[in-house]
Amino acid sequence: MQLFTSWPDLTLLDLPENVKTALFLHLNAPFHNEAETRSYWQDNKPTLIILNKDDTKSSLSKLEPFLQQKIMIMLTTPEYTDELGSGYTIKLAVINDAGEGVYCIQETTVHR
């Protein structure tokens, strides 16, 4: 699992290059440019979580309770789920009335 609470550095993401590109296009889509996107991330502090096939209920249960709660809300009641390509999806959940968002990337297929 990877966790980001600020605009993520592309080089730090444990994802295939084409999925990184699709993710950044997806995160930038609601904004006019990357500077506007970065400003949103700085002001609103959304969370980006990358779950991989090794992340299980058991391993996630070892996280702090508030983070567990964010992940459960995102997994059970996302605002939307979209394909990022190459066996990955992105989900967004809004977890409070202030609009705090949690994005989650999940691997949906096993890559060998």
Q: Is 75 exposed, middle or buried (0-12, 13-18, 19+ CB in 10 A)?
A: middle
Look over the chain and give the mean of its residue pLDDT values, rounded to a whole number. 88
Rounded CA-CA distance 43/23 in Å is: 20
- Sorted by sequence, the CB contacts under 8 Å of residue 37 that are 6+ apart come out as 7, 27, 28, 31
- The pLDDT tens digits for 74-101 are 888 899 999 998 889 999 998 877 778 8
Kindly state the greatest CA–CA separation across the chain: 41
pLDDT at 112 (0 to 100): 42
Q: What beta strand segments (E) does 1-112 contain?
A: 2-4, 47-51, 80-85, 88-94, 101-107
pLDDT at 111 (0 to 100): 47
Confidence category of residue 73, pLDDT binned at 50, 70, 90: confident
Domain boundaries, the chain: 2-107
Confidence category of residue 66, pLDDT binned at 50, 70, 90: confident
Percent of the chain exceeding pLDDT 90 equals: 54
Tokens 């730090």 found at: 12
pLDDT at 108 (0 to 100): 83
